[in-house]
Chain A
């Protein structure tokens, strides 16, 4: 019997939780839940459920794809912790992807602005484009004032703030980064802590 490729996608960088189990490029199971923001409690039971549906165990996974942020600091840490542990325990490959890219994959419009609110008129934003079914990045993710950022975009775009990621599009893209040294993996916070910023003043 031909061995199949079993991939697990995780993203908890927003108030939504997303888990997807992909076998040979086909999304077999997923959990996408909006607005509950209780990832610490739900992620492992959901993961157990998703695997059980396919009669799989964690040990049988071949690859992990983790949404690395930016977004909610506490949220992204939960997904990254879980992904790191699975990769480390089972010695399997791990790839990171921007949580904004995952979000952008929901839309099929030519230009997509993925946006995670960061209060006081600011947001984590990434500008992406769909080119013949493939998701590409136009400008690196950044933390900026929403109005300033939008005013500099010269094309028509759709803003995406939630929606179930399109994993097949994501897996086909060039937006994944392979991590070779699992212990060093950390979320992409895009910003120093307030304490560090104050210290530098």
Chain B
């Protein structure tokens, strides 16, 4: 089954052709990161403008790269949310045109389901499994007992992990996006500042990063006031250690409670080297999988993979009334 994936929920315009949920024939990503960098973050109106500008080019390249014809596609899977509404609507409407033009069924896919299924592409899935979803917009632990069955065990009560990384990076005067830079510097430093590990002992599977973020910003501010020398590498390492301790610890607690066979880490922060290292060090009894780098950030291959299983499970397509939604529940 050939699935055309379409993803425009934030600042990447992406189209992909995936066969049977795992064989990626093409995955074209037109990234806007260089455009948004000078604004210190994603500007929604600019993101929408860039999506319209690039949309047909990205479709054309994805189809050509896959050496396939539109007529040969069996399903169109498009991100319907959550995300920036103006951006989502571009992908959704472009996908609907293809659906009507070639009479191909279309389904709207949850963006986070896509991030989770990014793991299926290279690693497969063994149920029950535990998914840790960490990105600029999400921090959640999800239990899957079978394909396309999502049970949210817990989530952040305030900031997402990636958001905390970006804010700490900004305070340190590092450029956007902050995550990869903080990660790189952290590898050169040591955990000298011993920041708190928020909610690490709470008995649930929820997270909180806004308190940690404020604490880190305060410490930085006080050090500046006292004219203390700030070792940026150690500062980043201390922050990263605190964050990854919490993420790994909660994951282990959930793993033990639900007796899962596999752990997968999904979302942009899955690219974080500190998190990768600590997860693999601390969890050795079952496999821990991370998507390869190209599938950590937003991409349409993951949407095609998720769409394939969603379609198999629901056995039903959406229709031309399909719309984008800025907020959307994964379990719904």
Which residues in A have some Cβ–Cβ distance to B below 8 Å? Answer: 40-41, 43-45, 47-48, 57-59, 73-74, 77-78, 80-82, 84-86, 88-90, 182-184, 186-187, 189, 193-196, 199
Let me know if B86 and A74 touch, CB within 8 A.
yes
Let me know if A88 and B86 touch, CB within 8 A.
no
Let me know if A85 and B43 touch, CB within 8 A.
no
B321 at the interface (CB under 8 A from A): yes
- Residues of B contacting A78 with CB < 8 Å? 89, 93
B97 at the interface (CB under 8 A from A): yes
Smallest Cβ distance from A75 to chain B, in angstroms? 10
Scoring B residues 98 to 122 as 1 if CB is less than 8 Å from chain A, else 0, what string do you get? 1011100000000000000000000
Smallest Cβ distance from A20 to chain B, in angstroms? 17
Q: Could you say which of A44, A74, A195 contacts B46, with CB atoms under 8 Å apart?
A: A195
Let me know if A44 and B324 touch, CB within 8 A.
no
Report whether over half of chain A's contact residues are helix, strand or loop; otherwise say mixed.
helix
Let me know if B89 and A73 touch, CB within 8 A.
no
Let me know if B321 and A77 touch, CB within 8 A.
no
Taken together as a complex, chains A and B put the C-alpha atoms of A82 and B52 apart, in Å, by 10
Number of interface residues of B (CB under 8 A): 35
Report whether over half of chain B's contact residues are helix, strand or loop; otherwise say mixed.
helix
Minimum CB distance partner of B92 in chain A:
A40
Q: Which of B43-70 contact A (CB under 8 A)?
A: 43, 45-46, 48-49, 51-57, 59-60, 70
Let me know if A44 and B53 touch, CB within 8 A.
no
Let me know if A189 and B98 touch, CB within 8 A.
no
Smallest Cβ distance from B325 to chain A, in angstroms? 11
24 contacts between A and B (CB under 8 A): A40-B89, A40-B92, A41-B323, A44-B93, A44-B320, A58-B97, A77-B90, A80-B52, A81-B52, A81-B90, A81-B93, A85-B59, A86-B101, A89-B97, A89-B101, A90-B101, A182-B56, A186-B49, A189-B49, A193-B43, A194-B45, A195-B43, A195-B45, A199-B38
Taken together as a complex, chains A and B put the C-alpha atoms of A77 and B13 apart, in Å, by 15
Minimum CB distance partner of A87 in chain B:
B56
Taken together as a complex, chains A and B put the C-alpha atoms of A86 and B56 apart, in Å, by 10
Taken together as a complex, chains A and B put the C-alpha atoms of A195 and B86 apart, in Å, by 16
Let me know if A44 and B97 touch, CB within 8 A.
yes
Q: Could you say which of A82, A186, A196 contacts B53, with CB atoms under 8 Å apart?
A: A186
Given known contacts A47-B100, A58-B100, A40 and B53 CB-to-CB distance under 8 angstroms: no
B94 at the interface (CB under 8 A from A): yes
Let me know if A81 and B55 touch, CB within 8 A.
yes
Given A44-B320, A58-B101, 4 other A-B contacts at CB below 8 A? Answer: A78-B93, A81-B97, A86-B101, A193-B43
- Residues of A contacting B45 with CB < 8 Å? 73, 193-195
